[in-house]
Structure 1
């Protein structure tokens, strides 16, 4: 079995998979650093945690009590949000790989340090347990340079300012789930509080809507999506850099348009603000979709994943209505499962003897 870990800013999520990629048990520790909850399977209890290491210690104890001792795992595998331009494939977490992940922390300062916290903690508790990682950016490494390069001076490009793309594990899992039935030109939407799309041609990412950060592209739950750089500069002059960053990532998107970012609630509301917010979400998803179709030179099918993509039929229907000029297209709804993809990657590396 493989233990998959996803260490966030205030939570630690785990899931155990067997070699058939079946989920055996899942759990989480929430509200790290304060009073939170430890959940494993159907059992939940209140806990006080200090940090990621303490949360992991509590989770490993709970797993052992549930007949999943640390010795029962062949390896552990982690989600790492950003691999930069170098880490473009899953890898075993040896010192050079960890050093590379540390070096790209400036590209994902809110995510990579938390992801690494889980790695460091498990290293101390089980130094002999092989650890692997999968990157949220790696799936988009197949984008051509014309799709990733900003038209900016070379010095800034060399400093890492380029399009990377995110939600890569979700898209990779989608491709794997299709198997031999994968369409040649697939327009894929990952729609949740964070939202993006990906042009997938012959199983490879050709273009994606997110760029240097997860802020760009589609309208999202609390992120603005695409916005003119000059507008950002103007706002930062009055608000300051940190407050502008917080506004664009935390209080924009659906939240700014309708006062909340819960799509289910917005669809139930009858007021004009809610209706406009939903339309804005769908309009910009479809508008960016046109760009993606150009990038891959055609479209054979559309796939939706993510919390909104899987559960909000009115959103899917409206997006497809806006895309109806492409003709009648097959529409697929696929369950998002990044943890399964991380386990899949780790088992593949183990099979290769890495």
Structure 2
């Protein structure tokens, strides 16, 4: 490709959804911000009432009710809708992949060999990787000449020191790649890019959504994070429990006869906020409920976060900045208040009015710890890495 601005499509696949953003990106590698052409999603893939929508900046969304059986159909539908709206066709596609397992540490171009091999690592993110690889295969099938890149959430955490990354298990497990990988790395990379460069600043970033994690960051590197081998551990999440006493799993196997598949279903789909409340995994729904079980789920969620903030601060030897991001982190003042109110011993004070308004800075002017709310944008990180890889430029 010649030096120019090129349209790059970022795809983020879920088990029953496909989110997309198309950006016009300068391929010279400079810092000019990509220009958003359109974004949207295909939702409820495989269900009778599947739908898709697309929005261009400054315009109302275009919505279609369409029969989308699987991710192959979804990818074709996205390209067709972009073309029908007269939007430039993508010249490259970047995919968010939650994990690269022990082999794929850095973002990379997708080849036939990669497509075959990455399927060996589904066990490191069984809830996410299969759908993400389906989207890669679909683009390859429908548009074989378009270059594609795999952008890994785990890449940002690759420098976590062994003292934090290793589980207290025998050496052979470490040798086999059983360790802490960390996730939400594309989000954390974006947050770091939005801050003034200060190598000494000690940052705890909280990505709070249906999936949730924290990262301890200094000098633009992750030093520790709450998620571990898979995206199931760490904080309480929408349908995932976060960290559990391993004895609970042994009990379920020995006393209740749970199989591996039944445990996986319990941990990935029936636990977390849904399991506690018995109502919903959705924080907005719980916040609007007067049910005591919903309140308990909210309180336990906030409690798990503030404990983790203190742990990440300990890993950093102190705290200068706390960042909230993700759907809950950006839009739920009550959750931020519940997290921060008990962290006064870390020298942070919150401006309640700024917090209620989801302001960019919600700490008081005299607070030694700055508390920020930064909307994340993983797609910009994906498209920048995609162009860099196509141009064969170093990170």
Bin the TM-score by the shorter chain: over 0.9
The range that moved more, 257-266 or 337-346, is 257-266
The range that moved more, 177-186 or 50-59, is 177-186
The runs of 5 or more residues in structure 1 that have no matched partner are: none
How many Å separate the matches in 2 of 1:60 and 1:233? 47
Deviation at 1:206, TM superposition (A): 0.4
Task: Select 1:209's aligned residue among 221, 226, 229.
Answer: 226
Deviation at 1:124, TM superposition (A): 2.2
Which residue number corresponds to residue 14 of structure 1?
20
Q: Which has a greater percent of helix?
A: 1
Which residue number corresponds to residue 295 of structure 1?
315
Superposition pairs for residues 260-275 of structure 1, below 5 Å? 260-275=280-295
> Normalised by the size of structure 1, how large is the TM-score?
0.93
Task: Select 2:267's aligned residue among 242, 248, 255.
Answer: 248
Structure 1 residues 74 and 353 mapped into 2: Cα distance closer, same or farther (>3 Å)?
farther
**What's the CA shift string for 1:315-334, capped at 9, x where partnerless?**
11121112110113211101
How many Å separate the matches in 2 of 1:111 and 1:296? 30
Deviation at 1:62, TM superposition (A): 1.1
1:101 is paired with a residue of what secondary structure? helix
2:45 is paired with a residue of what secondary structure? coil
Which residue number corresponds to residue 56 of structure 1?
75
Q: Does 1:124 align with 2:141?
A: yes
The answer to whether the Cα contact below 8 Å between 1:165 and 1:210 also exists between their aligned partners in 2 is yes
The answer to whether the Cα contact below 8 Å between 2:239 and 2:270 also exists between their aligned partners in 1 is yes
Q: Does 1:306 align with 2:330?
A: no
Which residue number corresponds to residue 150 of structure 2?
133
> Normalised by the size of structure 2, how large is the TM-score?
0.83
**What's the CA shift string for 1:183-205, capped at 9, x where partnerless?**
71001101112111000111110
**What's the CA shift string for 1:288-309, capped at 9, x where partnerless?**
2222112122210100001111
The answer to whether the Cα contact below 8 Å between 1:143 and 1:206 also exists between their aligned partners in 2 is yes
Deviation at 1:56, TM superposition (A): 1.6
Q: Does 1:39 align with 2:57?
A: no
How many Å separate the matches in 2 of 1:183 and 1:275? 38
Deviation at 1:270, TM superposition (A): 4.0
Q: Does 1:5 align with 2:2?
A: no
How many Å separate the matches in 2 of 1:128 and 1:226? 43
Which residue number corresponds to residue 317 of structure 1?
337
The runs of 5 or more residues in structure 2 that have no matched partner are: 1-6, 26-32, 56-60, 349-368
How many Å separate the matches in 1 of 2:393 and 2:294? 53
1:142 is paired with a residue of what secondary structure? coil
Deviation at 1:179, TM superposition (A): 4.5
The answer to whether the Cα contact below 8 Å between 1:236 and 1:243 also exists between their aligned partners in 2 is no
Which residue number corresponds to residue 375 of structure 2?
335
Q: Does 1:192 align with 2:209?
A: yes
The answer to whether the Cα contact below 8 Å between 1:183 and 1:301 also exists between their aligned partners in 2 is no
How many Å separate the matches in 2 of 1:318 and 1:182? 29
Deviation at 1:275, TM superposition (A): 2.8
Task: Select 1:276's aligned residue among 296, 302, 306.
Answer: 296
Task: Select 1:66's aligned residue among 85, 89, 102.
Answer: 85
**What's the CA shift string for 1:191-237, capped at 9, x where partnerless?**
11211100011111000001111121112222111111111110133
How many Å separate the matches in 2 of 1:270 and 1:183? 44
The range that moved more, 311-320 or 89-98, is 89-98
The answer to whether the Cα contact below 8 Å between 1:283 and 1:322 also exists between their aligned partners in 2 is no
